[in-house]
Chain A
Amino acid sequence: MEFNSQPSFNLHLDLNSCFASIEQQANPFLRGKSVAVASYPTPGGCILAASIEAKKVGIKTGMRVFEGRRFDPRLIVLKPDPWKYRNVHLKLRELISEYTNDFSPKSIDEFVLNLRDYPALRNGSIKAVGREIKMRIKKEIGEWLTVSVGIAPNRYLAKIAAGLKKPDGLEEINKDNFFEVYSKLKLTDLTGIKTRNAIRLNTMGIYSVLDFYRSPVWRLRAAFHSITGLYWHMRLSGFEVDDISSKRGSFGNSVAIGKNLSKVEELAPILSRLTEKMSARLRSSGFSAKGIHLAIVYKDGSWWHRGRQMPRSFFDSKDFYKAAFKLLVEASVRRPVLNIAVSCFSLEKTHSLQLDFFNDLAKQKRLVEAEDLINERWGGFSVSSARSFGGAAAVLDRIAFGGVKELEEFSLNS
């Protein structure tokens, strides 16, 4: 397949070192220094974002704070401030919407814009639009914020282009330069190709991105054992296959636990707080759910998970908690827990309630709605179960990594 000869209409925008750069924007005294935003500022805390200066000395996202300090003992470690980051995300969203309404946030710090047929392209090239957006971000949102912009005929290559030069890049992949770009990339530089997929490709004699691009579809289908091979062929040829919006299928909350907790009675308050957070978000989006799932990752690296369908659709935190607690007991926790995650699935829109022989669901719904109203007026967890107060310190406000659906839930205008 020939490379797509259409002009580039897709622009991928990636805010560099997002959380750390925003902290440096807020506090000018942090600029030019090694800064990390970590889940916890303690030595075992996980680094969520490293400033450009910290990255230059080798500090990376995912390292522990103590590991980062080995690279730079003066590393400044900050706790996350989610509302700062959400505000910058909303400002970016507002700015981008002046160029196109066909855009989607891919995460808190990434957007993809389709500019086809939008007036922004009438007066100049897509590169000029990219330059203008970069300049306006500095002028209108924060002079310390830099973005890497990638431009291509499809979304996937626009993302790859955005990663070619970091920070502050503006790169395009198109029919004229794709060959040169591909020849400089390794297979694992491609988003979605990690070691396992690279091995699959290697077994079919594909060792480089150029091999990957040149491979016939039958060979790629054989490598991936599915239609995915065709999709890869189209992606690398510059055709669109990723313009799909996923429907929400679940709501979930999780927490990484700092302390060594390995008893059900120690984990129950945390589980209670998580189920309250999860079910409040579920209700405010107008859903109830029939399925519950619990996943536990232990500090020794092992894990356990189980999901269950419930006899009817639940909306009340108490019902979710009871179902999740049963799963927690079934997990027979005996080792220290690193991460606990609860989610609900099999979502249903809450238009009407099915009658229940034993429970007055209408009454229960009115009570839950009253609780939600109080929490909405006075802030989350003003009214919640006594049990969940014990979990409050462990379950903090956090931004889900790569979570796009959470971004649809917050707004400052309510």
Chain B
Amino acid sequence: MIMAEQIYETVLVGMNEYPRWVKWKDRIYKIEKVGLHHTYRQGKTLYHVFSVASKNLFMRLVFNTESLGWKLEEVENGI
């Protein structure tokens, strides 16, 4: 069963063209797959959204190009 959780937490993301790892709640998750990269604007601010999967988790990572900060907006277990 897939359990989805909407959250809004600051995370650290290791980037090399695409996100390679995410540090969330003192744990590092290696990104196994980038499903989709898309963007949207809220006002003039451009956001990059990376839908990514670690071994067991789906994560929605959002990068704010104005504040240069990352937010983890959604987590789902993939079991």
Taking Cβ atoms with an 8 Å cutoff, the residues of A that contact B are 22, 25-30, 76, 83-84, 86-88, 142, 375-379, 382, 412, 414
Contacts and interface: CB of A to CB of B under 8 A. Distances in A.
A22 B35 CA distance: 9
B33 to A, nearest CB: 5
A377 B44 contact: yes
Given A27-B58, A27-B76, A29-B2, A375 B43 contact: yes
Nearest to A24: B35
Contacts of B43: 375-379, 382
Contact of B78 (A29, A87, A377): A29
A83 B37 CA distance: 11
A27 B35 CA distance: 6
17 contacts: A25-B35, A25-B36, A27-B35, A27-B53, A27-B58, A28-B53, A83-B39, A86-B40, A87-B36, A87-B38, A87-B40, A88-B38, A377-B44, A378-B42, A382-B43, A412-B39, A412-B46
A144 to B, nearest CB: 8
Interface of B: 2, 33, 35-36, 38-46, 49, 51, 53, 58, 76, 78
* Chain B residues touching A, majority SS: strand
A17 to B, nearest CB: 15
Contacts of A87: 36, 38-40
Sorted nearest first, the 4 A-B pairs with minimum C-beta distance are A29-B78, A26-B51, A87-B38, A83-B40
A412 B40 contact: yes
* Chain A residues touching B, majority SS: helix
A76 B58 CA distance: 15
A29 B40 contact: no
A288 B2 CA distance: 48
A30 B58 CA distance: 10
Residue among B2, B36, B39, B46 with most chain A CB within 10 A: B36
A376 B45 CA distance: 10
A205 to B, nearest CB: 52
Contacts of A86: 40
A138 to B, nearest CB: 13
Residue among A27, A29, A377, A414 with most chain B CB within 10 A: A27
A28 B33 contact: yes
A83 B39 CA distance: 7
Contacts of A382: 43
Contact of B44 (A28, A142, A376): A376
A140 to B, nearest CB: 12
A76 B44 contact: no
A28 B56 CA distance: 11
Contacts of B35: 25-28, 142
Contacts of A30: 2
Contact of B58 (A28, A142, A375, A376): A28
A26 B36 contact: yes
Contact of A29 (B36, B38, B53): B53
